[in-house]
């Protein structure tokens, strides 16, 4: 084998390696959108999971707040009724504002019961 044949074989080998590298790069370039989309979907799935966990936690906080609000409203209604009863036992006339407050709270609780059913 002379040097010309060796050079030709070496050129063919380099051309083959260059072709393989180009094909590999082309395949990698074509897969890039799929890979980046896959990464984005993974990130979004984690975010959705975190949002669902946060929503469950927030719902429990809202439920606790709702219970506390109901206790406060019922306590206020009990205080209004006590004040009206006290006025009646002392032979005094309850104020119209006190009577109206009792009616409004009673209506509010009745509407709230209907909405929850």
Q: Phi-psi region for residue 112, left (φ > 0), alpha (ψ -120 to 50) or beta? A: alpha
pLDDT in tens, 63-113: 888 888 888 988 998 999 999 898 888 888 888 888 888 888 888 888 887
Confidence of residue 117 (pLDDT cuts 50, 70, 90): low
Confidence of residue 24 (pLDDT cuts 50, 70, 90): very high
The pLDDT value recorded for residue 31 is: 83
Total number of residues shown for the chain: 117
Q: What is the pTM for the complete model shown?
A: 0.49
CA distance 73 to 61: 18
Domain ranges, ordered by start, for the chain: 3-116
Neighbours of 80 (CB within 10 A): 19
Using the predicted structure, report yes or no on whether residue 114 has a pLDDT greater than 90: no
CA distance 59 to 64: 9
């Amino acid at each position: 084998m002379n040097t010309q044949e060796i050079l030709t074989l070496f050129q063919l080998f380099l051309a083959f390696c260059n072709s393989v590298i180009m094909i590999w790069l082309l395949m990698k370039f074509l897969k890039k959108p799929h890979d980046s989309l896959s990464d984005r979907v993974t990130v979004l799935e984690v975010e959705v999971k975190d949002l669902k966990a946060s929503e469950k936690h927030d719902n429990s906080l809202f439920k606790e707040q709702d219970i506390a609000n109901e206790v406060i409203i019922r306590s206020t209604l009990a205080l209004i009724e006590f004040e009206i009863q006290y006025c009646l036992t002392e032979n005094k006339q309850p104020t119209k504002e006190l009577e109206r407050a009792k009616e409004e709270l009673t209506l509010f609780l009745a509407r709230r019961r209907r909405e929850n059913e």
